[in-house]
Amino acid sequence: QVQLVESGGGLVQAGGSLRISCAASGRTFSSYAMGWFRQAPGKEREFVATISRSGGSTDYANSVKGRFTISRDNAKNTVNLQMNSLKPEDTAVYYCAAKQTFSGGYYSSHRLYDYWGQGTQVTVSS
């Protein structure tokens, strides 16, 4: 089992940058593919980015491609999301998620993930 705690959210102006992080408990962090999802008020949870167990493979939603970068440090049990050129439509609660897997793949469907953090609010003002 793994517990996830997000941090680093806040208020930023449009065009600015923010880095959010997710710290995972447990000694088997490298057994999990990781993902970032977000949910805005009145909307469904949506995929943002995902990274494989090793960090060698990543995928992004089209809406954030070229602006966001997901990374992980298996020695520190952390996964990060660097967000640049932020837009008001990026405003949402951002969730970190973990999926235990024996493959080297990544996963964009929230239904596949086993564990979730409590979320961190990101607000982008215009």
Q: What mean pLDDT is predicted for residues 87-104?
A: 96
Give the per-residue pLDDT at 92. Answer: 98
According to DSSP H, which parts of 1-126 are helical? none
Q: What is the pLDDT of residues 40-92, one digit of tens each?
A: 999 999 999 999 999 999 999 999 999 999 999 999 999 999 999 999 999 99
Any idea what the Cα angle at residue 114 is, between residues 112 and 120, rounded to 5°?
A: 100
Q: Is the CB of residue 81 less than 8 Å from the CB of residue 94?
A: yes
Q: How would you classify residue 13: left for phi > 0, otherwise alpha for psi between -120 and 50, otherwise beta?
A: beta
Residue with tokens 């880095």: 19
